[in-house]
Amino acid sequence: MAYLELHNLSKTFGGSGAVVDFDLAVERGEFVSFLGPSGCGKTTTLRMIAGFELPTSGQVTLDGKDLTTKPPNQRNVGMVFQSYALFPNMTVAKNVGFGLKVRGRPKDEVEGRVKEMLELIKMSHLEKRFPYQLSGGQQQRVALARALAIQPHVLLLDEPLSALDAKIRVELRAEIRRIQRELQITTVYVTHDQEEALSISDRVVVMNAGRMEQVGQPFEIYNFPRTEFVAGFVGTLNQLRVTVVEAASGRVAFADQSFLTSGPLEAGKGETVLAMLRPEELHFGVAPGENQLDGKVESVNFLGSLVRIQLSVGPAKVTLDALNERRLNLPRVGEMQTISFPPHAVWVMPAA
Amino acid sequence: MRRRRFWPWFWLALGAIYFFVPLLATGEFSLRAQRDAFSLLAYQRVLQDNQFISSFLFSLRMGILTILFGVLLIVPTTYWVHLRLPRLRPLVELLTLLPFVIPVIVLVFGLIRTYSSPPFRMTTTPATTDILLIGGYMVISLPYLYRSVDVGLRAMDVRSLTEAAQSLGAGWGTILFRVIMPNLRTAVLTGALLTLAIVIGELTLAQYLARPAFGPYMALLGQNRAYEPAALAIMSFGMTWAAMGLIYFLTRGQQAQIGGGH
């Protein structure tokens, strides 16, 4: 039996389902992210674990005990909010010690634990500051220390980095992961940022319209998406409407050209299917044993470490990502170019 | 350039004249109790009057009790509306505005009519009448107290703060008194001082409930004396400014917190 289990969890708001049949088992010490667009039910699910929302049906169990209807202040669950939610009238140390003080722990213990927590987030020198005297990143670190000070069974984070600058976001993300690993704490993390979810988690749950689309390790989610939604939401994707030429070899036709997909196809000859491939699998030039397509360069976007190039191939647009290097010859807009990609990079889904 | 500089100053000066001329005139008049010379005689007489002290202390006591019960009623109610019943906010706002619409005279007759005959016979002893008086004051000060608390709650993220405290194990009492109230210090103080100012000057309720409050005393003095009411007006003006200064002084730190916390 897993440590934290959600059984067929559903939540309905005024007739419409915000979360439908959510079923997940989280192991002790695991880091799981809920990823999806806004309104997909990820925060509602998190709030049901925290006890702020009562499920319409289903069950939440922690270490075998039923938590479903337990009030939030009796669950011993640590929560970190997007808005930090630090108590403005208390210093950093008082904020961190609040949970233990509420529990009526002796003063020595509270002080010791606060000190330990502030060392963990490397903010010991700021213990006497008030929240308004701290930067956003510092405030969120204090909020994390406050949630961890009560030694919660589970740590819940609701878009904790969304209000921060890009650079701080990446730094704090690594810090959250370091602390989570150090304390071996079971963590559920909600985000709409796919890069964040992929980089930080042991497993990712992709959600859409209240339902779980796919659960898996980041590598699996990115490279082997099981639904069209996951494929489209996570990362950039080329989706080409192609016609099956030969099902056994996986050959398909596209804009008067043809190429091979990763294997035999279920669809019959002449049927339309969707061929998918990631922009980073494409490259310029001809490579032996690979597919080739000819296209016209439409735009060149220099993004730093990546260069994103859009080409028109027949009626469709194809995106190609090239890694930047100093010797790179950027193609010019309007040029004709040949692009190549290996057959194993292409997977096929039925066309909607 | 010159033109633009001129008009703002002109309006400022006009406003200043409008406010300060009557004040100066009243002040000057209050010093004229003695013939042919400026003196503090009117002030002396006011302060020596036993009724001045006793009625002022009575109203102060009523004011403090009104604030105490008003805060205990308004803060948890407004907090709950913000947290759980945000859709009721327009309705609650409308309710708190009713004291502006219903004249105090109607309120006091209503109170007397309801509470002077069985089953509630409350107008027979001073102590029970004071309860009615405080109830009436609470109604009159409701718009001011509610507004300041409402503004205070709007300035903080009530829901997240509540949930953060809950997830840390706090119950409702702890949340209200250790998290919400301390962050409403400015708001409650502002509302409290407004309430105090209203109670100290209130006439109708105390008059008809026949209690020895400061309002009726001032009215009586105004009818019978010439220089003393002017002295009283200047003194109450001074007290109001002192109270405002007090708000500013006590809330300096917190203004920064609320301003910088977002």
pLDDT band at residue B3, thresholds of 50, 70 and 90? Answer: low
A85:B168 CB<8 A = no
Cα angle A115, A121, A126 (rounded to 5 degrees) comes to 65
Closest Cα to residue B106, out of B182, B35, B208? B208
CA distance B128 to B209: 11
A147 touches chain B (CB under 8 A): yes
Q: Under a CB-based contact definition with an 8 Å cutoff, are residues A102 and B170 in contact?
A: yes
CA distance B27 to B75: 40
Q: At what angle do helices B214-224 and B50-84 cross, to 10 degrees?
A: 140
- Give DSSP secondary structure letters for A109-122: HHHHHHHHHHHHTT
| Residue A114 one-letter amino acid | V
**Quick one: which H or E segment has residue A10?**
strand A4-13
pLDDT higher than threshold 70 for residue B260: no
Please tell me which of the candidates A88, A150, A156 has its beta carbon nearest to residue B168.
Answer: A150
Q: How far is A254 from chain B (nearest CA, A)?
A: 53
The partner residues of A162 in beta bridges, in order of sequence, read none
CA distance A95 to B170: 13
Average pLDDT, chain A: 92
pLDDT band at residue B62, thresholds of 50, 70 and 90? Answer: very high
Q: How far is B112 from chain A (nearest CA, A)?
A: 44
CA distance B42 to B61: 26
A73 touches chain B (CB under 8 A): yes
A273 touches chain B (CB under 8 A): no
CA dihedral A220, A221, A225, A227 (to 10 degrees): 140
Please tell me which of the candidates B165, B174, B257 has its beta carbon nearest to residue A88.
Answer: B257
**By three-state DSSP, how is residue A227 classified?**
coil
pLDDT at A151: 92
pLDDT digit string, tens, across residues A76-127: 999 999 999 999 999 999 999 999 999 999 999 999 999 999 999 989 999 9
Residue A260: CB partners within 8 Å, gap ≥ 6?
A249, A250, A251, A252, A291, A343, A346
pLDDT band at residue A214, thresholds of 50, 70 and 90? Answer: very high
Cα distances from A158 to residues A266, A350, B244, in angstroms, run 41, 35, 42
A98:B170 CB<8 A = yes
Please tell me which of the candidates B167, B185, B259 has its beta carbon nearest to residue A72.
Answer: B167
The more confidently predicted of residues B113 and A1 is B113
Tell me the whole-structure pTM to 2 decimals: 0.82
Task: Pinpoint the alpha helices (H) of chain A.
Answer: 42-50, 92-102, 107-120, 136-149, 166-183, 194-200, 218-223, 228-233
Average pLDDT over residues B12-41: 89
Q: How far is A67 from chain B (nearest CA, A)?
A: 14
pLDDT at A13: 86
A87:B183 CB<8 A = yes
The nearest alpha carbon in chain B to A78 belongs to: B167
CA distance B70 to B65: 8
A289 touches chain B (CB under 8 A): no
pLDDT higher than threshold 60 for residue B181: yes
Mutate to test the interface with A, among B156, B168, B185, B186 (most CBs of A within 10 A): B168
The partner residues of B177 in beta bridges, in order of sequence, read none
The partner residues of A84 in beta bridges, in order of sequence, read none
pLDDT higher than threshold 70 for residue A341: yes
A74:B161 CB<8 A = no
Question: Which of A109-123, A259-273, B238-252 is the least confident region?
Answer: B238-252
CA distance B92 to B110: 22
pLDDT band at residue B2, thresholds of 50, 70 and 90? Answer: low
Q: Under a CB-based contact definition with an 8 Å cutoff, are residues B66 and B131 in contact?
A: no
pLDDT at A208: 93
pLDDT digit string, tens, across residues B195-235: 988 898 888 999 898 889 888 988 888 888 888 888 888 88
pLDDT higher than threshold 80 for residue A244: yes
Chain B residues closer than 8 Å to A143 by CB: 164
**How many percent of chain B have pLDDT more than 90?**
45
Which residues of B lie closer than 8 Å to A, measured between beta carbons?
A: 156-157, 160-161, 163-171, 174, 179, 182-183, 185, 256-261
CA distance A56 to A192: 24
CA distance A159 to A141: 14
**How many percent of chain B have pLDDT more than 70?**
94
Token couple for A266: 């279920």
pLDDT higher than threshold 70 for residue B251: no
- Please give the domain boundaries of chain B with CATH numbers for all domains: 41-251 (1.10.3720.10)
pLDDT at B121: 82
pLDDT at B119: 82
- Give DSSP secondary structure letters for B72-83: HHHHHHHHHHHH
Return the residue matching tokens 């004709």: A336
Mutate to test the interface with A, among B167, B181, B258 (most CBs of A within 10 A): B167
A88:B160 CB<8 A = no
pLDDT digit string, tens, across residues B125-174: 888 889 999 999 999 999 999 999 999 999 889 999 999 999 999 999 99
Return the residue matching tokens 């039910």: A41
Mutate to test the interface with B, among A91, A132, A133, A188 (most CBs of B within 10 A): A132
A73:B261 CB<8 A = no
Q: Under a CB-based contact definition with an 8 Å cutoff, are residues A250 and A291 in contact?
A: no
The nearest alpha carbon in chain A to B84 belongs to: A52
pLDDT higher than threshold 70 for residue B258: no
Instruction: Provide the edge-to-edge strand list for the sheet that holds A316-323.
Output: A283-284, A336-341, A291-302, A306-313, A316-323
Size of interface A-B (CB pairs under 8 A): 79
Please tell me which of the candidates B163, B167, B179 has its beta carbon nearest to residue A87.
Answer: B179
Please tell me which of the candidates B166, B169, B261 has its beta carbon nearest to residue A88.
Answer: B261
The nearest alpha carbon in chain A to B183 belongs to: A89
- Give DSSP secondary structure letters for A104-157: T--HHHHHHHHHHHHHHTT-GGGTT--GGGS-HHHHHHHHHHHHHHT--SEEEE
**ipTM score assigned to the predicted complex:** 0.83
Average pLDDT, chain B: 87
CA distance B87 to A166: 36
Highest mean predicted confidence (pLDDT) among A16-25, A149-158, A254-263, B1-10:
A149-158
Q: Under a CB-based contact definition with an 8 Å cutoff, are residues A272 and A351 in contact?
A: yes
Please tell me which of the candidates B160, B183, B259 has its beta carbon nearest to residue A83.
Answer: B160
